[in-house]
A and B are shown apart, each in its own frame.
Chain A
Amino acid sequence: MVAAPPRVPEVAERAAHEVYADECLAARDHIRHGRAGQSAEAARRALAALPRGVDAQRLLGLALLELGEARPALHAFSAALTADPLDVVSHAGIAEAQELLEGAGSAEVVWLRAWEVEPYAVSDGTNGMPGIGQRLQDARRAAGALDVREGPPPLTRAALARIHLRGRLFEHAAIEARAVLAKEPDRMDVRLTLAEALWRSGESLLAAAVAQEIRERLPDCVAANLLVATHWLAEGRDAGELMARVHAVDPAGSIAQNLFDDREVPVLFGTDALPERHGEPSAEPPRDDRALAETRALSIVEPPPRAAMTGELLPEVPAVAPIPADIVHDSAQAEELEQLIAPELALVTEPESARAADPDAVLKQPAEPVAQAPRLELDTEPELVVVPPTAESTPSRDADDRTNGNTAMQAGRYLDAARAYGAWLRAARDGRTSG
């Protein structure tokens, strides 16, 4: 006797989120295998379940683009950008659609926008597809630009803001983003970059204010809603409405996962705040479908937000000297700059942590100047006293400090050596100024 096959649940019986996740998965699979028509249908079914779903909009745009339906594709990508202004796939999709509609020369601005979102994404050419930077250069040539050089496009301030953000130079990113917004206040991608930079630098109040500005223009912007919700939760306010909006647009929580460190999501929103993932592929952004661009996920291996930064942010912080035009137009150095964003090579040390690593230097600071710093002994724990600069510093004192430092260095007691050399430096400075 053959058992009856399990009953396939009716669509109506399943939660909208489940339908959405399944259809997105199907759409992704179809387009991966060249079935653009079926992909578009699946994406439409996903949108029927969740009309504001960003993944489905993006997939619909990709499918329509494959089908040569440039104008509806453009609309789909534009809808996706209202939810995620930093979605490089949608930016590149709009540029592709624009090229299809009006030729390569008309797409320079939109390619530039796509490239500025991920200026560090360099195509290695292994997939046979030119990178976004190359497409931008081609569009510029097609538009008749005479100053197009080989290599990556010249950096812009918007691109620099993204590079700084990825390189954890959050204050620099904020400065560049503000400079762009002063001229182009409608750039929601840059405004979101500013909000993220502020948030990561510990300025959650400012970040929430900027995010609120974005929400006024783009109420479905997931990252802006998340940043405001984070701030509200920190203040003890109810962020349920914001989170409901986030779930309606990005039920897989991929943008939240990208914005926050994995550990932060449950802390901020509760373990059940984000819906369960319906299988790994559907939860991830469509990385494999990104023939148009490098995966955004690469850009979002971000650190958790830092607790505090030193110094004032804007406008009190001195402006960073802009990269001179002759430098940013040099493709070799632009490439170098792109390499600078590899965060794993940078160990950023804050002044507070430096002090925390050496609290004795503060604790043992004598109230009165002492005549001579004690010598360091190799076999005993040193009781080094930091001597404040005095007018009585003498060459022999300098020699003692230097000797102490040398001894500590040889013994591998580098912090002690730093203290001793610091005393030497202060004495040398004082001798110079007093002399």
Chain B
Amino acid sequence: MEDQTLITLRRIAGVSDAFIVDRNSAPSEGGTAEAQAALLSAVVAALAQATDDLALGQLGETIIEAERGSIVTGALPNGRAVVVLADAKANLGMIRMEVRKLRRQS
């Protein structure tokens, strides 16, 4: 089910990548994609820790907007999260919709 949703996410115009990250599993040797996933996993973990430290409860969804694109994340159970990298022209509403769908299914 998650794979199907990731495929759907990747098909959205402007989405450059989408994957599930897991803070509990160390990244294996690899190239850019693995490093990217590891970096985003750490970022999501830091945000989750921040919301916890701030007594805001569990992290839900985030949008990090940058000059040339955005990172949309959605927390999943057991320390996992769905992360979507999108360029500046991507429809963030559609991405969030799919992310939320995945969160509901998990």
Contacts and interface: CB of A to CB of B under 8 A. Distances in A.
Given A409-B45, A414-B45, A418-B42, A340 B66 contact: no
Interface stretch (A83-91, A112-120, A295-303, A346-354): A346-354
A336 B100 contact: yes
Interface of A: 163-164, 167, 169, 172, 310-311, 317-323, 327, 333, 336-337, 339-340, 344-351, 354, 357, 398-399, 402, 405-406, 408-410, 412, 414-415, 417-418, 421-422, 424-425, 427-429, 432
A321 to B, nearest CB: 5
Given A347-B62, A414-B42, A425-B38, 14 more contacts: A318-B88, A319-B89, A320-B91, A321-B13, A340-B97, A345-B100, A347-B60, A348-B63, A351-B64, A351-B66, A402-B38, A417-B38, A417-B46, A418-B43
B20 interface: no
B42 A346 contact: no
Interface in B15-41: 23, 26-27, 29-32, 34-36, 38-39, 41
Nearest to A427: B35
Contact of B96 (A340, A417, A427): A340
B51 A323 contact: no
Contacts, number: 133
Chain A interface secondary structure, helix, strand, loop or mixed?
helix
A348 B13 CA distance: 21
Contacts of A405: 27, 38, 42
Contacts of B46: 357, 414-415, 417-418
A169 B31 CA distance: 34
Contact of A432 (B27, B29, B32, B59): B32
Contacts of A414: 23, 42-43, 45-46, 49
B60 A350 contact: no
Given A320-B89, A340-B93, A347-B59, A310 B47 contact: no
Interface residues of B, number: 43
A425 B51 CA distance: 26
Contact of B65 (A310, A418, A429): A310
